[in-house]
Structures are given as structure tokens and as C-alpha cells.
């Protein structure tokens, strides 16, 4: 009991340690950093990346990769806004349609991977282009206003608690429960750990992959809707490049790109590290060119700390 618990805890702790170091450093460097408002801001700014990254966690646990999440997020948000405004659908129907769009994109990815035997990198790279293109086609390249009711997702409950943070936490719990407690979740770890052993143990690998990529698509849709709600506007070019942030968050959180490892909590910490970093760089007025350097260095360091700690325990 204790060996695995503590090993897993330590694995997560690598990322947690990096986050703590970052927070302490920023608190010392900027007096504005450690305020409730600012920390909630960080939470809001982490939300979209975190939700995308929860979806990517499923995929990475199976040993795959999903490059299409940013584009799928944009397409789902555009679908919602377009069907609710131009299409005249009531907003709940538009929300359902938007989630269905995300799921559909994921299912296409999975079909290409599981039945077409395409490498996940290529299948989802194709979807990255397809989804972004469709978002542009539907929107004619221009932002579409979000329906009023859905835009409240970008507001706060009461005076303080931002809804994007709540959505992020709920999606995190959902991801954790799926990964830890359900058959598809456990099967994802087995497939990522050893696909052939999983198959010979009667796990229907192709079917689990369908579920995995569909979940990734659904999470991307939620992220897209949250992002659009914050802006009160669905933009075809939204979330471009976010897939790399999502992957970085998952890996910083202790997952292995070769599969079989990864946890929702770790992913949350990874997304928070990225958000804290960007927030801090703004507060410190670091120049535009240096910001990219710093972000790259911190991503490498965070993962390095984690691997070194884990090597130390082995």
C-alpha cells in the first residue's frame, strides 16, 4: 500500500513542488500576485487550458496524442453560436449540438486511429486542419455573438466565484472519476501500458479508443464554450495552439507520453503552472520577447524536476 501511494504522490508532488516554488517566487517579486482576486484570475485563465488538458489526459494515458483539441474547441463554440443565432435554435439545443460536434470530431479521430490504423499524431493533425477550416467556413471568418444565456458561463457566482473555475473543477472531478473508477478509464491505463496484453485480456481496444477520443472531443467542446462565454463571442480563430499548452500541462502533471501514466489532479497542477507563469510575467512587465523564453524554460524545468524526483525514488 504505502509504496505505490507515496510513489504516486511524489510523482504528483514533482509538479506541485514546481508550482509552490513558482508561487513563492512570484509572491516575493510582485506584491500584487498573492491576492484573492489575482489568484481567482489565475484560476479563470487556467480554466480553458485545464479543461482541454483533462481531455488530453485520457488520450495520453492510452499512449496517444490529440493535436486537434484547440480547433475542435473553436468549431464547437462556433457551432453553438451559429445554431443559436443564425439557426434560431433554443440555446439548450445549441449547447447539446455543440457537445455533439466535439464528440463527433473525437469519434472521427478514433475511427482513423483504431480502424484506419493511422498514427494518432497524423489523424489528429488532419482533424486540427479540418475542424479549424469548418469553423471558418461556418462563421465566414468573423466572430459570432454568443447567446446571452450561455455567456453567463463567463460570469461569477455571487461576487467572487468565477464560473469558469467551477466548470474547471467539475470537469476535473469528472475526469478523475472516469480515469479511476470506470471500466473505460481503467482500460485506458492498460492499453497505454501494454496494448497487446490489454487485448489478450479481452479488453476491446478499438472501442475504448473510441470512448477516449470522444471524451477528448467532448472536453474540448466544453473548453471552447467556456472560452467563447468569457468573450461573449465565438471566434473561429480561438484557441489556436492551445493543444500544445494542453499537452504540456498533462506532461508537467506527471503523465508519460508513452502511455500508462497520468492523473487528472496532476494535469490540473500542470495547467495552473502555465497560468501562474503567464500571469506573473504580466505582473512583472517582462518584455514580450523574453516571455516566450521564460515559458519554455519553466516547462522544461517543471518536467525535469519531476523526472529527477522519480528517478530518485527508484
Interface pick for another protein out of 235, 246, 248, 274 (rule CB under 8 A): 235
| Out of 13, 45, 56, 83, the residue judged to bind another protein by CB under 8 A | 45
If one asks whether residue 255 binds another protein (CB under 8 A), the answer comes out as no
Q: Does residue 212 touch another protein according to CB under 8 A?
A: no
DSSP type of residue 35: S
The reply to whether 209 sits near another protein by the rule CB under 8 A is: no
Euclidean distance between CA atoms 219 and 54, whole angstroms: 7
What is the three-class DSSP state of 144?
strand
φ, ψ of residue 161 in degrees (nearest 5):
-75, 110
Is 190 an interacting residue with respect to another protein (CB under 8 A)?
yes
Least Å distance, CB 110 to another protein, is 18
Q: Segment near another protein (CB under 8 A), from 81-89, 94-102, 200-208, 212-220?
A: 200-208
Size of the site for another protein (CB under 8 A): 65
Closest Cα to residue 228, out of 295, 166, 145? 145
| Residue 138 φ then ψ, to 5° | -65, -45
Q: Which of 26, 203, 218, 302 binds another protein (CB under 8 A)?
A: 203
Cα separation of 177 and 19, whole Å? 24
Q: Is 71 a residue that touches another protein (CB under 8 A)?
A: no
Do residues 76 and 99 make contact, with C-beta atoms less than 8 angstroms apart?
A: yes
Whole-number Å distance between alpha carbons of 259 and 35: 38
> Stretches 79-87, 105-113, 114-122, 223-231: which one binds another protein (CB under 8 A)?
223-231
Q: What is the dihedral of CA 56, 72, 181, 197, to 10 degrees?
A: -60
C-alpha 81/C-alpha 88 separation (Å) is 10
Contact 249, 102 (CB under 8 A): no
Binding flag, residue 36, another protein (CB under 8 A): no
Closest CA to 16 of 305, 258, 275: 305
Nearer to another protein among residue 93 and residue 152 (C-beta): 152
32 binds another protein (CB under 8 A): yes
Q: Which is nearer to another protein, 93 or 197 (CB)?
A: 197
Task: List residues near another protein by CB under 8 A.
Answer: 1, 3-5, 7, 30, 32-33, 35, 37-38, 41, 44-45, 48, 136, 140-143, 181-183, 185-187, 189-190, 193-194, 196-204, 227, 230-233, 235-240, 260-261, 278-279, 282-285, 287-289, 291-292, 313-314
Amino acid at each position: 500500500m504505502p509504496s505505490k501511494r507515496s510513489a504516486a504522490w511524489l510523482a504528483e508532488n514533482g509538479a506541485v513542488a514546481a508550482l509552490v516554488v513558482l508561487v513563492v517566487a512570484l509572491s516575493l517579486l510582485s506584491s500584487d500576485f498573492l491576492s484573492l482576486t489575482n489568484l481567482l484570475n489565475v484560476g479563470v485563465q487556467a480554466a480553458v487550458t485545464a479543461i482541454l488538458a483533462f481531455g488530453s489526459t485520457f488520450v495520453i494515458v492510452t499512449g496517444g496524442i490529440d493535436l486537434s483539441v484547440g480547433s475542435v474547441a473553436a468549431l464547437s463554440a462556433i457551432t453553438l453560436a451559429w445554431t443559436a443565432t443564425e439557426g434560431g435554435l433554443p440555446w439548450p439545443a445549441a449547447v447539446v449540438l455543440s457537445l455533439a460536434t466535439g464528440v463527433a470530431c473525437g469519434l472521427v479521430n478514433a475511427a482513423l486511429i483504431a480502424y484506419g490504423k493511422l498514427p494518432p499524431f497524423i489523424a489528429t493533425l488532419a482533424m486540427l486542419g479540418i475542424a479549424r477550416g469548418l469553423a471558418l467556413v461556418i462563421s465566414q471568418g468573423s466572430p459570432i455573438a454568443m447567446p446571452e444565456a450561455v455567456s453567463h458561463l463567463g460570469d461569477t457566482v455571487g461576487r467572487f466565484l468565477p464560473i469558469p473555475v467551477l466548470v474547471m473543477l467539475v470537469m476535473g472531478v469528472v475526469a478523475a472519476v472516469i480515469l479511476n473508477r470506470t471500466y473505460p478509464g481503467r482500460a485506458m491505463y492498460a492499453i497505454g501500458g501494454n496494448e497487446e496484453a490489454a487485448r489478450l485480456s479481452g479488453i476491446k481496444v478499438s472501442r475504448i479508443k473510441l470512448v477516449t477520443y470522444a471524451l477528448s472531443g467532448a472536453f474540448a467542446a466544453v473548453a471552447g464554450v467556456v472560452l467563447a462565454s468569457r468573450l461573449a463571442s465565438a471566434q473561429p480563430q480561438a484557441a489556436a495552439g492551445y493543444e500544445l499548452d494542453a499537452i504540456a500541462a498533462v506532461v508537467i502533471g506527471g503523465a508519460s507520453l508513452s502511455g500508462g501514466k497520468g492523473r487528472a489532479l496532476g494535469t490540473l497542477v500542470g495547467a495552473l503552472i502555465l497560468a501562474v507563469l503567464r500571469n506573473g510575467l504580466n505582473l512583472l512587465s517582462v518584455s514580450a520577447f523574453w516571455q516566450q523564453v521564460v515559458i519554455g524554460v519553466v516547462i522544461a524545468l517543471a518536467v525535469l524536476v519531476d523526472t529527477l524526483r522519480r528517478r530518485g525514488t527508484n
